[in-house]
Amino acid sequence: MNRILLAEQIGKYCVTAEDGQRIYEQIHPLLSAQQHVQLDFAGVQIVASPFLNMAVGQLLRDLDPATLNTYLKFENLPSGFKPILRRVIENAKRYYADPAYRAAIESVLAKREEDFDAD
């Protein structure tokens, strides 16, 4: 089992997409090789969806949910953050499985970026 201690690698605040990407880059090859990975949240005080989207959500681009459930485990995730993780996973499943949904999301994000750039 490959154990990732998030408090040691990221700190007590797992919030940014950049930190999530670092974890994704570490665990994606392991999961692709069907190696077990345990993300240990001991010592983490705050977990935010941008971090989880990048660390976990984008895994569903390449891995099916059954593989993810088999090989990726979460330890010491405070119960208050479990709904966020569930929402991230459910949204990612839909995003990667439904091209129409993905196109709609990307269109909205592109429009928001245009609006932001215009200001």
Model pLDDT for residues 61-81, shown as the tens digit of each residue: 999 999 999 999 999 998 899
Q: What is the pTM of this model?
A: 0.88
Residue 119 has a pLDDT of 64
- The domain tally of the chain equals 1
* Structural domain harbouring 96: 2-118
Q: CA–CA separation, 56 vs 65, rounded Å?
A: 11
Q: CA–CA separation, 66 vs 111, rounded Å?
A: 34
- Backbone φ and ψ for 56, nearest 5 degrees, come out as -120, -45
Tell me the residue length of the chain.
Answer: 119
